Amino acid sequence: METLSLTDTFSEFKELKNIDRATMMRVLEDVFRSLLKKRFDTDENFDIIINIDKGDFEIWRNRIIVDDSKLTDANKQIRISDALLLVQDCEVGEEITDEVKLPDFGRRAILSLRQNLTSKILELEKDNLYNKYKSRIGEIVTAEVYQVWKKEIMVLDDEGNELILPKMEQIPTDNYRKGDSIRSVVFKVEMRNGTPVILLSRIAPIFLERLFELEVPEIFDGLITIKKIVRAAGDRAKVAVESYDDRIDPVGACVGMKGSRIHGIVRELRNENIDVVNFTNNISLYIQRALNPAKVSSIKIFEKEKRAEVYLKPEEVSKAIGKGGINIKLASQLTGYELDVYREVEDGEEDIDLEQFADEIEGWIIDELKAIGCDTAKSVLNLSISELINRTDLEEETVKEILAVLKSEFEEN
């Protein structure tokens, strides 16, 4: 029975199609030689013949024929009387080869061999899985949801390998059930306690880049280059593209006729808004494009500080900031410049800088208001109480107090 189970294990081993033949032969021979060393203290005079295709093996031992009275090492020598039983025509001093049968090793040795072989199978499978996905980092994979947990989702690839999509790498509006198909990018591959763990992501910028490569042939062919991608997954993304061929409009090519190319990407990303802009080395123009959909009036660049002051008309400020400040945050990440948005005051319009109220309004509150593009009294008064609450971390009572202070200043004037 032990021999039969070992044959089954051997057959299982040879079914590992992803393991190259040379590796199989090496590992199998190492296992058998390890057994020989334990049994005979050496494996030097043994030949191991492995038939991968048939799933079987043979072990042959080479020994020198000696006189019956001169036997000193039964493993490397054989008495002439015993040799004649194997080969009728032989003489002292010749080498004789005979097969060592597996049952001769004993039940415990065979069981140990089987366990060793099974262990090697698992190691090879783990190493193969690790190396396979290590080389696929940054590639898109399609897998089926197998198990949904609170902090992660387990999915299976086409070969039944287990991959993990952590909750933090999912788009906030993602909602999957068992059996659903998921497209994601191989984000990280690591070994945990000797077991490979393949982590996927749907929020990484590289995922969006790969989707563009699938949808836009010019990107895949290298005619259009993606210079940078920044994302707030599920909400908004900004993509800077460049073409080295003047005949190709990179933005138009990425969007497609009537948005045909980008619509598929938007659907995959749960209606994430994607701004595609032309890359340029003109930093002022680049910032203007990055702040889309807002229209910028003027920009003051501070090159050494990597900072820029952006001036916009009052109605454009909220567009530049975006909901929760996401638009200006992404524009800053895309351009590499810290962006300060200011409301442009028209000629003859009376207004007061918020800093003038420092003795009545706490500094951190002024900073909160500036973060949403409100740097003057009127820019704050132009917003409703609900807007100020939603766009800042301020409480309703605090907002009302601020508005009262600002209104009183203009009433006095």
What pLDDT sits at residue 136?
94
Extract the tokens encoding 295.
């229209």
Give the list of residues 6+ apart from residue 375 with CB closer than 8 angstroms, or none: 341, 342, 343, 353, 354, 369
Query: Is 9 in contact with 114 (CB distance < 8 Å)?
Result: yes
Assess whether the previous peptide bond of 293 is cis (omega < 30° from 0): yes
What backbone torsions phi and psi does residue 384 show, to the nearest 5 degrees? -80, 165
Burial of 273 (0-12, 13-18, 19+ CB in 10 A): middle
b/e burial code for range 282-314 (CB count within 10 A of at least 16 → b): ebeebbbbbbbebebeebeeeeeeeebebbbeb
Per-residue pLDDT, 13: 57
Give the C-alpha distances (Å, rounded to integers) separating 46 from 12, 42, 62.
Answer: 25, 9, 6
At residue 100, what are phi and psi to the nearest 5 degrees?
-100, 115
Q: For the chain, which residues make up each domain, given as ranges?
A: 2-132, 137-202, 204-279, 354-412
pLDDT at 321: 87
Residue 244: the pLDDT is 85
Residue 341 CA: distances (Å) to CA of 318, 345, 375: 10, 13, 8
Q: With the C-alpha atoms ordered 116, 117, 119, 124, is the resulting torsion angle positive or negative? A: positive
Profile the chain (413 residues) by mean pLDDT over runs of 10 residues: 49 58 76 84 85 74 89 88 86 87 76 78 84 94 95 93 95 93 95 93 96 94 95 94 90 91 93 94 94 91 92 84 89 94 66 80 86 81 85 86 84 59
Question: Are the CB atoms for 364 and 375 separated by under 8 Å?
Answer: no
Given this model, what pLDDT does residue 191 score?
Answer: 92
pLDDT at residue number 373: 78
The per-residue pLDDT for 190 is: 94
**What superfamily in CATH does domain 204-279 come from?**
K homology (KH) domain (3.30.300.20)
Class at the top of the CATH hierarchy for domain 2-132: alpha beta
Report domain 137-202's class.
Answer: mainly beta
